[in-house]
């Protein structure tokens, strides 16, 4: 009888701890795919001052990172629908277009993360 109770307890403990797969402790959780719906502002004047860019969309995570032409920006998570990023004056020194996207880092085999769609930002 005692053996049966120990076996049952062992099975409960193993079930509670999980047995791999995509559990939160497995280290192999895929990242959620972010999507940008809008940038605010949508443009800036060449040679202007630094400013805060607001990125609105879906699927943002607490560790999301905003990229500006493939360079990482200082990013602040506001919600799963909004991020802000600091745009330094040096990034808008010359007229042109910048590509903005968001990356949600993953873990384990998904460590490379998932990128959002890219949105163009105009520097006039």
The pLDDT score that the predictor gives to residue 26 is 52
Digit-coded pLDDT (tens) for 49-103: 999 999 999 999 999 999 999 999 999 999 999 999 999 999 999 999 999 999 9
Question: What would be the CATH architecture of the domain defined by 30-123?
Answer: Sandwich (2.60)
For residues 63 and 76, the answer to whether their CB atoms sit within 8 Å is no
Q: What does pTM read for this prediction?
A: 0.75
**Domain extents for the chain?**
30-123
């Amino acid at each position: 009888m005692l053996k049966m109770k120990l076996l049952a307890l062992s099975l409960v403990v193993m079930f509670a701890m999980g047995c791999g797969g995509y559990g939160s402790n497995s280290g192999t959780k895929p990242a959620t795919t972010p999507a940008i719906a809008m940038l605010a502002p949508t443009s800036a004047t060449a040679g202007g001052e630094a400013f805060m860019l607001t990125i609105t969309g879906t699927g943002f995570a607490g560790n999301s990172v905003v990229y500006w032409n493939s360079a990482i920006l200082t990013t602040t998570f506001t919600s799963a629908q909004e991020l802000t990023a600091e745009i330094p004056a040096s990034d808008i020194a010359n007229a042109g277009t910048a590509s903005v996207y968001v990356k949600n880092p993953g873990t384990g085999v998904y460590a490379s993360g998932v990128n959002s769609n890219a949105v163009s930002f105009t520097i006039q």
